[in-house]
Amino acid sequence: MNLSRRFFFKSAAAVAAMTIAEMQAMAASAQIKATGDVAEDDEEYWRSIRLMFPLTHKRIYLNNGTFGPSPYPVIEAVKAGLMENDTDGQYGKWEKTVEKLAGFVGADEKEIALTHNVTDGINIACWGVPLSKGDEVILTTHEHSGNSMPWMNRQKLHGIVVKKYTPAATAAETLNRISDLITPKTKVIATPHIPCTQGQVLPVKEICTLARSKGIFSLIDGAHGPGMIHLDLHDMGCDTYASCGHKWLLGPNGTGFLYVRKEFQEILTPYTVGAGSGDEDWDIMTDPVSIGKYAEGGHRYYAGTQSNGLYRGVAAAVDFMEAIGPENVYRRIKYLGKYTQDNLLACGSRIQMLTPTEERSRAGVTGFKIKGMNYRDFNKLCGEAKIRIRIVPENGLDSLRISTHIYNNPSEIDELIKVTKKAVS
Ligand SMILES: Cc1ncc(COP(=O)(O)O)c(C=O)c1O
């Protein structure tokens, strides 16, 4: 059976002939069911999926790692959420998203705090974990500033010590490097799950197990996890996991969440509190003031007004993934990642591949350098060919990054390869 037919109840050609308004109406009615497995290279099916995105065709977008453009159903849900508040004069309802997110990442509802981006969640975890002068925290040499600055700020203000390892080409060697850094003073391993630099999938479950076995907390920067690879946070065993809606989940900007393992909530102090983060016993009118308990669960870590529109968008993003089938999404992402890596490697010896070729260590992001060529010059060539990639100036890496999602296809990567071949010839 023709999958795109099943998906849209229309042929891909018929969908292509529709106006944007018609597509939006169709998207809003959520006729996006995929039943069963979809082949990762079924281009007709994935072309149909591309039609669900208003993303411009005027250039090729290979930068999902920075920001994942939303499909129509997400945009429609954001609009509907905003309209709902502004027409019925009620506000609230963002809590429904917590339940949906929890199910998607393998957590309990009470373990999720809503945040506004990854950095927000990392800061809650970083400031809330009890640390004293001289205590050591392990990071990588591949951090985004969202996971390095908060810890360096605690070094500046509280005298903790930041130590770092460089991710290795294999998961086993990466674990050895972390092990070698552990001392009796190590209190936290604050590693990314998938660093933004070269998209290497780190052996985070083993890292968390190692941390637990030594009485060390594992606070994970999960910017690139949800929506790129299968996640089960209970199985991973981390203490916290900070992520966002606007990357691989394809949700709106300005949304995020922090997972805090149930038992760890007794250890992680909430510092930003207000409406929603405490019980009814907090009372400023008694003398002395009455100090109550923190809210049960993740709500102790966030307070105040949230956007019903944006969080409706996050819920719709999860629905969108589930309609396609998360495993179908992950397989397609992995397929395009491998396609990118294989074809770049085939461009010859001037390509210095940074992302490991080890199967378990790669997914949707590929990092590389071109020997003898400044990374900014290559980026310029891509810009001239109307291809958006990302440069990686972070931490002196001076490399290039390609990141692809389900709205991409191999022919777009072929265009990148044409530019690369020209650059290395
Ligand atoms: C690994 C990693 N951590 C943290 C961040 C910061 O994310 P946000 O801008 O949502 O705070 C990013 C953003 O690209 C990232 O890639």
Closest CA to 257 of 139, 405, 94: 94
Cα(95)–Cα(306) distance, rounded to whole angstroms? 9
Sheet with 112-115, strands from edge to edge, namely: 112-115, 256-260, 240-244, 217-221, 186-189, 136-140, 161-165
Pocket perturbation via mutation, ligand 1, pick of 141, 196, 397 by most ligand atoms within 8 A of CB? 196
- Counting atoms of ligand 1 from 1, which one is nearest the CA of 221? 3
User: Which residue is it, tokens 């009470």?
Assistant: 110
List pLDDT tens digits, range 291-348. 999 999 999 999 999 999 999 999 999 999 998 899 999 999 999 999 999 999 999 9
Please give the distance of CA 406 from its chain centroid, rounded to a whole number: 15
Q: Shortest CA distance to 320 belongs to which of 18, 34, 16, 11? A: 34
Written out in words, the top-level CATH class of the domain with range 328-424 is alpha beta
User: What is the reported pLDDT for 57?
Assistant: 92
Instruction: Determine the topology of domain 95-319 in CATH.
Output: Aspartate Aminotransferase; domain 2 (3.40.640)
Dist. CA 118 → ligand 1 center (Å): 6
Q: How far away, in angstroms, is 315 Cα from ligand 1 center? A: 20
- Ligand 1 atom, smallest distance to 119 CA: 11
Tell me which residues have their CB closer than 6 angstroms to ligand 1: 66, 117-119, 144, 146-147, 192, 195-196, 221, 223-224, 244, 256
Shared fold status for 95-319 and 328-424 = no
Residue closest to 347 by CA, chosen among 301, 323, 378, 388: 378
Identify the band that residue 45 occupies on the pLDDT scale cut at 50, 70 and 90: confident
What are the structural domain ranges in the chain?
1-52, 95-319, 328-424
pLDDT category at 22 given cuts 50, 70, 90 is low
**Mean per-residue pLDDT over the chain, rounded:** 93
- Number of other residues whose CB lies within 10 A of the CB of residue 101: 27
pLDDT higher than 70, residue 31 = no
**In angstroms, what is the C-alpha Rg of the chain?**
22
* Single pTM value for the model: 0.93
Residue of 118, 149, 248 best suited for mutating to test ligand 1, as the one with most atoms within 8 Å of CB:
118
Residue 6 has what pLDDT? 41
> What pLDDT was estimated at residue 38?
86
**Residue 323: what pLDDT?**
86
pLDDT band for 32, please (50, 70, 90 cuts). Answer: low
Res 4 pLDDT > 50:
no
Q: What is the pLDDT of residues 66-100, one digit of tens each?
A: 999 999 889 989 999 999 989 988 888 888 899 99
